[in-house]
Chains A and B, each alone.
Chain A
Amino acid sequence: MAEMRGFLRSDGRKGIRNVIVVAYLVECAHHVARRIVNLSDDMDVHLIGFPGCYPNSYAFQIMTKLCTHPNVGGVLLVSLGCESFNREALRQAVADSGRPVETLVIQQAGGTKATIEAGRAAVARLKAIADQTPVVPMARHELVVGTICGGSDGTSGITANPAVGRCFDWLVEAGATCIFEETGELVGCERIMSDRAVTPELGAEIEACVQKAERYYTIMGFGSFAPGNAEGGLTTQEEKSMGAYSKSGSSPISGLIKPGDIPPSGGLYLMDVVPDGEPRFGFPNISDNAEIVELIASGSHVILFTTGRGSVVGSAISPVIKVCANPETYTRLSADMDVNAGRILEGRATLDEVGAEILGLVEAAAAGDRTVSEALGHQEFILTYKSFEPVGPACLPTRAA
């Protein structure tokens, strides 16, 4: 197998891709930005953006973390001109990170056609600079890997999720950083999670974070965390949640982060994706890609996506590896899947074997191989309004004195 390699950034982090990001700063600039991306016809030119015209510090933070993500080599900002997004602060943050960045303002650039033409030329310039980024060997401990499940069914918790958990255990053992989330689906295992925390104070923060999720979803009208679906063999809330939780493996939990926080060291981290305060902007995450974006904003190089019913999505910026839990789904959607964890149900593979296969695919992606969704051109992206308070001091591991 090819060796892992990384694009070395000025902060010392390494990216496994060298993407040029074209970012619209309000929905009004979306079409122009999309045309620039489409006309560049390059798998490594990606579209991201924030649709809202009103300011939101969460959205600004996520956009900044994404534009300075290790997988990103250059940034083109596309502004209409009158939106409230602080484009100069974002441009400055990207420039400070040592990346090439350009801004186009449609109202000043002469409208749609002129901005698209200027954007194509800008992408070519950015790419030429990004192509000079040093490529260096990358080790397992430098990887940041996120996981999410979507379209789950009764098989997810016994095949794909625990197989990802094995992969996470090996990554954490090697010093890598692994991130799991979905606190709303972890109701019932907060005590088990807090017992795995590296300090009692972190354990208390984890319990409080699940409690917040439970309350938030109750207010949203989805508080019916009913005892698990008995016909699939599930008996209790704990059992149902443990199925989702099994993606995290069995390593100690080193910290609790919020979207955009970069874990300070290797280990296993829980991401709290539920906003703080009274619900203001609707559902915490309106679809799977909203969570994927948050995992990437916290530095994930690769996303492990487990699915039972069968999702086809990928993502902008970081490749998605899809692990299919259900062998029947795999038969229908094999051309969209990277891993058939359903073989465990069929008795054709063990959890360890599938876990090792997933780890191999993470390393192959870091060596430059395209994942299935990436090769198909999937670059889904969504970012909406949220509000968060910073994490408390007990949430992050303190370095030994």
Chain B
Amino acid sequence: MSTPISPLILLHPDDNVLVVRAAIRAGDALDIDGIPITAAQDVTVGHKLARRALAAGDKVLKYGAPIGSMTAAVAVGGHVHMHNMKSDYIASHTRQVVGGSEGGH
């Protein structure tokens, strides 16, 4: 086991983001699915980088599941966070009101 260990974790094969396992510094050389990328900025542990180029409106997939949508485009290796994605979740009680039925009890 002497190969350098990637600072990125793929949680599910369908994911379009990778989770940062070890802090990344701007300028670090990254390998994302065989594509060499230079990190544009510092990214701390637990944050996400794009596994492929994403456009505004694309679903963000983590754990193989949609966790929100992009609000702006991002290149491979770009930071995916609050500034370029948003929740698609509407609380079910809100959804009920939106749907015009507030339920009987």
A79 touches B (CB below 8 Å): no
Chain A interface residues (CB < 8 Å from chain B): 154-155, 158, 162, 187-190, 192, 207, 210-211, 214-215, 218, 225, 227, 230, 232-239, 242-243, 245-246, 250, 344-348, 351
- Could you tell me the distance in whole angstroms from the C-beta of A17 to the nearest C-beta in chain B? 33
The answer to whether A162 and B63 touch (CB under 8 A), given A214-B93, A237-B89, A345-B21, is yes
**Residues on B with beta carbons closer than 8 Å to the beta carbon of A211:** 92-93, 96
Is B46's CB under 8 angstroms from A234's CB? yes
CB contact between B11 and one of A154, A155, A236, A351 (< 8 Å): that residue: A351
**Residues on A with beta carbons closer than 8 Å to the beta carbon of B41:** none
Is A236's CB under 8 angstroms from B87's CB? yes
B9 touches A (CB below 8 Å): yes
- Could you tell me the distance in whole angstroms from the C-beta of A251 to the nearest C-beta in chain B? 12
- Could you tell me the distance in whole angstroms from the C-beta of A355 to the nearest C-beta in chain B? 12
Chain B interface residues (CB < 8 Å from chain A): 5-7, 9, 11-12, 19-22, 44-48, 62-68, 80-82, 85-89, 91-93, 96
Q: Which residue, of A189, A225, A238, has the highest number of chain B Cβ atoms within 10 A?
A: A238
Is A238's CB under 8 angstroms from B20's CB? no
Is A238's CB under 8 angstroms from B89's CB? yes
CB contact between A239 and one of B7, B9, B62 (< 8 Å): that residue: B62
Seed contacts A158-B19, A236-B67; 7 additional CB < 8 Å A-B pairs: A158-B11, A215-B93, A238-B88, A250-B12, A344-B9, A344-B21, A348-B5
Is B92's CB under 8 angstroms from A246's CB? no
- Could you tell me the distance in whole angstroms from the C-beta of A291 to the nearest C-beta in chain B? 22
**Residues on B with beta carbons closer than 8 Å to the beta carbon of A154:** 45-46
Is A239's CB under 8 angstroms from B67's CB? yes
**Residues on A with beta carbons closer than 8 Å to the beta carbon of B22:** 345-347
Q: 7 closest Cβ contacts across the A-B interface? A: A233-B46, A347-B5, A236-B87, A233-B47, A239-B67, A211-B92, A236-B68
Q: Please measure, in the bound complex, the distance between the C-alpha atom of A192 and the C-alpha atom of B63, giving whole angstroms.
A: 11
Q: Which residue, of B44, B45, B89, has the highest number of chain A Cβ atoms within 10 A?
A: B89
**Residues on B with beta carbons closer than 8 Å to the beta carbon of A237:** 87, 89
Q: Please measure, in the bound complex, the distance between the C-alpha atom of A214 and the C-alpha atom of B90, giving whole angstroms.
A: 12
Q: Please measure, in the bound complex, the distance between the C-alpha atom of A155 and the C-alpha atom of B46, giving whole angstroms.
A: 7
- Could you tell me the distance in whole angstroms from the C-beta of A239 to the nearest C-beta in chain B? 4
Is A235's CB under 8 angstroms from B44's CB? no
Q: Please measure, in the bound complex, the distance between the C-alpha atom of A210 and the C-alpha atom of B96, giving whole angstroms.
A: 13
Is A230's CB under 8 angstroms from B81's CB? yes
Q: Please measure, in the bound complex, the distance between the C-alpha atom of A207 and the C-alpha atom of B7, giving whole angstroms.
A: 36
Q: Please measure, in the bound complex, the distance between the C-alpha atom of A236 and the C-alpha atom of B92, giving whole angstroms.
A: 15
- Could you tell me the distance in whole angstroms from the C-beta of B14 to the nearest C-beta in chain A? 10
Q: Which residue, of B7, B82, B86, B96, has the highest number of chain A Cβ atoms within 10 A?
A: B82
Q: Please measure, in the bound complex, the distance between the C-alpha atom of A154 and the C-alpha atom of B45, giving whole angstroms.
A: 9
The answer to whether A246 and B87 touch (CB under 8 A), given A155-B46, A162-B11, A233-B44, is no
Q: Please measure, in the bound complex, the distance between the C-alpha atom of A192 and the C-alpha atom of B85, giving whole angstroms.
A: 19
Q: Please measure, in the bound complex, the distance between the C-alpha atom of A337 and the C-alpha atom of B73, giving whole angstroms.
A: 43
Is B92's CB under 8 angstroms from A214's CB? yes
- Could you tell me the distance in whole angstroms from the C-beta of B65 to the nearest C-beta in chain A? 5
Is B87's CB under 8 angstroms from A238's CB? yes
* Nearest-CB residue, chain A, relative to B84: A235
Is A245's CB under 8 angstroms from B68's CB? no
Is A158's CB under 8 angstroms from B46's CB? yes
**Residues on B with beta carbons closer than 8 Å to the beta carbon of A214:** 91-93
**Residues on B with beta carbons closer than 8 Å to the beta carbon of A236:** 67-68, 85-89
Q: Please measure, in the bound complex, the distance between the C-alpha atom of A93 and the C-alpha atom of B17, giving whole angstroms.
A: 53
